Amino acid sequence: MLRLIKYLSKKQVFMFVLLLAFLVLQVFCDVTMPTYTARIVEEMQAGAPAADILITGGIMLAFAAGSVLATILETFLSASISTGLGRRLRGEVFSHVLSLSDRAAGKFSAGSLLTRTTNDVQQVVSAMVLSLRLGVGAPLMAGMAIVRIAQSSGELTLVTAAAVVILLAGIMAILMVTLSRFKLIQKLTDRLNGTLRDTLTGIRVVRAYNAEEYERARFEEVSASLKRHNTFAGRAMALMNPLMLLIFNGLTLAIYWLGCFIIVRDSNAAFFPEMFSFTQLASQVVTAFMVLIMLFNMVPRAQVSAKRILEVLDETSELSDPASPAPYLADGSIEMKNVSASYGGAPVLSGVSFRVERGQTLAVVGGTGAGKTTLLKLILRFLDADTGEVLVGGRDVRGVPQGALRQSLGYAPQKSVLLAGTVGENIAFTEPSLPASALNEAAETACAAEFIAEKGGLSAEVAQGGRNFSGGQRQRLSIARAIAKKPPVVLFDDSFSALDFATDAKVRRNLKERLPAVTKVIVAQRISTVRDADVIVVLDHGKMAGAGTHEELLKNCPAYREIAESQLSQEEMGR
């Protein structure tokens, strides 16, 4: 929790200093009021004039007003500080996740990141609201009250100290039992969110296979486990209130009994006002610890949440920009020199070497899991190669700022991702300032203009994830987005798989005719999609099985010939 303080802005730090000042003022007023209560009792015993009693009462009311005013200001300040911290934490987690490489981001599931960005941050913010006011004010109150108590009576001080020790021992015992449960509860919350996310995103598959009962049972299993641990932790924490009331009532009884004993023993009736003040001070001590109980109900869970947030923020990415980057202008060439890459385990790619010049088409083929998508990630620098060099525009991508590199690349991912908004906003996602003419041209090149017009044009609404478009339409919109700003290099990661053969051929022909100076990198499963490429790289279990043109590979690469024979007729293969 303390480590998160560094995420406070300078303005929030200043507000925190003000908050401490108002806390001191409030506590001073609260602890001083019992003194004037005792003085009123003394004046009444002594038969002082009513005017004197009213003056003392007026001073006491002034301290009460000061306490109320300070409390109001504390509330405003603590709310501003905590909510500001929550906003900044959410932004920090979100931005940090965006900056992570695929290796680093892969350590966290999507459900876990959602929970950490929302639920965990909210837990920390809720605890922070109380901690800023009560976590500082309550110990301060207890400390100042104990000092005043110690000045009154040594015997009564010992009684109060014994009550505090018993209370702390009980609280520590309960916390030791519940802290591990809170850690488990947050993990189960991750699982619950992940299960819910899987079911909702795959709801059509669930229905198609009549798996509703299976998914319901899977969800109920996690939900029941979460309920069980929440119930145990809640019951354990609920013991604090009865413990507190027992100690508070016992302490009050002990103070009255011991105070009366002292008055009788010492024949000192003047001790009665002091005992009255002492009772109020002792109640402030116990009340301070009762307030801390509220924190103990939240802080353990918030502590677990803080650790989970810091796990994300502490995760380092191997991707870093050069300290003094040189100006970068990609010329469209791509080259790999003996490149190997992994996700932290066995190599996914090894010994990959090729080169394509500006305007050429590079095709990458291979079986499932051969490393085709990983090859594109290296060009995009979503991860760095373990060995070898990846050059785009003649420069090693590790020596180019990531923003400048990706500004020169267009990318249509394997899973066509559309964002909620309009068709125009999705196509112009890479360059929001693009004019409508450029967006329409990109749509025509991707053979998307016709269905866009049927949907209502560039202003047509796109549902979250593009659910209101078919798979082939989403792919064509993704292709249009990749080529809209006409970057030097465009990467297509199996972006033609949902297109029929005629549309596939037409899109590729448009790309060749309308973007002659743009280098195209196409990952595909269909030989018909890649056969006209200038360079075809064949991957087999992460290794290069061959590189060349379609005709060259048919002669020299058995792996490519096997794929071609499974898809093409003898006539189509040129035999």
pLDDT in tens, 480-524: 999 998 999 999 998 888 888 889 889 999 999 999 999 999 998
Note the pLDDT tens digit of each residue in 538-551: 998 888 888 988 88
Dihedral pair phi/psi, residue 387, rounded to 5°: -140, 160
Which of 190-194, 475-479, 508-512, 544-548 is least confident? 190-194
Note the pLDDT of residue 388.
92
- CB-based contact 560:546 (threshold 8 Å): yes
pLDDT in tens, 197-209: 788 777 878 888 7
Range with the largest mean pLDDT of 241-250, 315-324, 542-551: 542-551
Distance CA 508, CA 519 (A): 13
Instruction: Specify which residues 356 forms β-bridges with.
Output: 334
Mean pLDDT of 252-266: 74
Highest mean pLDDT (candidates 224-233, 341-350, 437-446): 437-446
Cβ–Cβ < 8 Å for 468, 462: yes
Distance (Å, rounded) from C-alpha 163 to C-alpha 414?
Answer: 66
Instruction: Look at residue 461 and give its three-state secondary structure.
Output: strand
pLDDT value, residue 250: 82
Look at phi and psi of residue 47 and say left if phi exceeds 0, alpha if psi is from -120 to 50, else beta: left
Domains and CATH numbers, the chain: 9-314 (1.20.1560.10), 334-567 (3.40.50.300)
443 has pLDDT over 90:
yes
pLDDT above 90 (res 326): no
DSSP 325: P
**239 Cβ neighbours under 8 A, 6+ residues apart:** 170, 174
More confident residue, 429 or 326: 429
Q: What is the mean pLDDT of the segment spanning 247-265? A: 76
The pLDDT of residue 375? 92
Read off the pLDDT of residues 286-310 as tens digits, 9 standing for 90 and up.
Answer: 777 767 766 766 777 788 788 888 8
| Tokens describing residue 327 | 């100006």
Tokens of 408: 């020169």
Q: Is the model's pLDDT at 424 over the cut of 60?
A: yes
Return the ∠ at Cα 441 (arms to 438 and 445), rounded to 5°: 140
Name the residue with higher pLDDT: 158 or 292: 158
Mean pLDDT for the stretch of residues 439-450: 93
Q: Confidence band (pLDDT; 50, 70, 90) for 423?
A: very high
Indicate if the pLDDT at residue 267 is higher than 70: no
Tell me which residue has tokens 């669930």. Answer: 206
Residue carrying the six token digits 């809720």: 126
Averaged pLDDT, 179-188: 78
Concatenated DSSP letters for 83-109? HHHHHHHHHHHHHHHHHS-HHHHTTS-
How far is 201 from 376, CA to CA, in rounded Å? 26
Q: Name, in order, each residue with C-beta under 8 angstroms of 72's C-beta and a sequence gap of 6 or more.
A: none
Beta-carbon neighbour count of residue 134 at 10 Å? 20
Q: Is the CB of residue 201 less than 8 Å from the CB of residue 252?
A: no
Bridge partners (DSSP) listed for residue 365? 538
Residue 410 identity (one-letter amino acid): G
SS3 339: strand
**306 Cβ contact list (under 8 Å, min separation 6):** 1, 3, 4, 120, 124
Cα 340 to Cα 51, 337, 366, 378, distances in angstroms: 92, 9, 17, 10
Does 190 score more than 80 pLDDT? no
